Amino acid sequence: MLIRLIYTTLLALLSPILLFSLYKKKPHKPAFGSRWKEHFGYTPTLEKNEQPLWIHAVSVGEAIAATPLIKALKEQNPSQPIVVTTTTSTGAEQIAKLGDLVDHRYMPIDFSFAVNGFLKAVKPSKLLIIETELWPNTLHSVGKANIPIYVVNARLSEKSCQGYAKVQPLFTGLSKHLTKVLCQTQADADRFERLGINKERLYVTGSIKFDIKISDNIKQQGTGLRNLLGNERPVWIAASTHEGEDQQVLDAHQEILKVHPTALLILVPRHPERFDNMFELTKRSGFNCIRRTSNENITEDAQVYLGDTMGEMLVLMGAADVCFMGGSLLGDKVGGHNVLEPAALGVPVVIGPSYYNFKGIVEELLLEQGILVCKHKEIHNTVSQLITNKNNCSAIKLAAQTVVQCNQGSLKRTITLSQ
């Protein structure tokens, strides 16, 4: 197909830049080592008798979202082999926490030769794509091999929908290979339909992120951390912040300290390569900052606690009184992050005005008064009021937990429809 040939040519021209970004060494980013070859289809075979189920979760966020699905699938059929692909090494690190439940391979780059090399080595029976990671050559090669393709927990923002519409012939060519698209909301399904996907292949299953289960171990670790931070002082967390947001959060904390002099901010940048820079930024901004990795005693005069580790977000959230969710102060650049994790933990959530990636979820929480949305100049007032007004804090917490509980069941629907 001509349109796919044009796409492949453009991808080949851009691939040096994409690969440089992927392989560039960054602080706290795991190295690919010799496994970089897997991106080009040189994939180690699986020592399995049965064909594996293939789940693709591009990076950390998708890997976390896929985890309850993987556990549920293994609980249903313990002998079913599962291979999980990620594109990034940080995603691979997250999947490694599942231990022997799955095998991990790196996702081949979207060239037919690389995808075909992967398929020859792995021989998957089915592909489940987490959220919306649709690559034309991958879908063409997998579809040509008669392997069913399911997009699960699918979401499509209005911005992404308009982007796909600009290359409608390319999207039409790739979408014909999709067996089913299991959407988070009706709005997502409507957008996929606008792009030409047949209604018979569209299902609304809800978000599997609502089926989050917080283990007792995580809760205990959160309580233990709070004991170390100080039970008598106010503690709030700014989770998954991006470049450009950190200073706004620190400015808000400066104001909060005027009202609550002993308050502590747990600052958790989204990307690990920014940990060192954030430590320097807090020091330059005049804060007494302690890094989690330093294992220093958290003294009463500590003002910022830098969460410079990976995979501990739930523990850090569990130690806080209030959670501000990052990625929501940068206009159209990011579109927010998952607000359900703190909600499930019983931590009141504050988010900025840009949350299009979780629009349906945030709107449902807003409807039940289970979340607060504010501009960056309002963060300090909003957080301060939640710290001061325990009754309001408890009401928001209860409303959010009720919304989470009422929306659970997506995992079961997803597994049923992807059989």
Which conformational region is residue 389 in: left (phi greater than 0), alpha (psi within -120 to 50 degrees), or beta?
beta
* 398-403 long-range contacts, CB within 8 A, separation 24+: 399/365, 399/368, 399/369, 399/370, 400/343, 400/346, 400/348, 400/349, 400/365, 400/368, 400/370, 400/371, 401/343, 401/344, 401/346, 401/370, 402/368, 402/370, 403/343, 403/364, 403/365, 403/368, 403/370
Residue 57 CA to residue 107 CA, distance in Å, equals: 9
257: phi then psi, degrees, rounded to nearest 5: -65, -25
Extract the tokens encoding 62. Answer: 């998708």
- The Cβ of residue 264 has, within 10 Å, a number of other Cβ atoms equal to 25
- Measured from the Cβ of residue 248, the count of other Cβ atoms closer than 10 Å reads 19
Distances (CA, A) of 401 to 19, 175, 341, 368, 396: 42, 36, 10, 10, 9
Q: What is the Cα–Cα distance from 343 to 116, expressed in whole angstroms?
A: 42
Give Dmax over CA atoms of the chain in angstroms: 66
Beta-bridged to residue 54, according to DSSP, are: 83, 127
CB 237 within 8 A of CB 323: yes
Among candidate residues 38, 47, 50, 62, the one labeled active-site is 62
Q: Is 62 annotated as catalytic?
A: yes
Residue 218 CA, distance from chain mean position: 18
Rounded CA-CA distance 68/75 in Å is 10
DSSP 26-84: -TTPPP-GGGGGGGGT-PPPP--SSPPEEEE--SHHHHHHHHHHHHHHHHH-TT--EEE
Give the SS3 label for residue 350. Answer: strand
b/e map of 370-395 (b: 16 or more CB within 10 Å)? bbbbbebeebbebbbebbeeeeebee
- Please identify every residue annotated as catalytic: 62
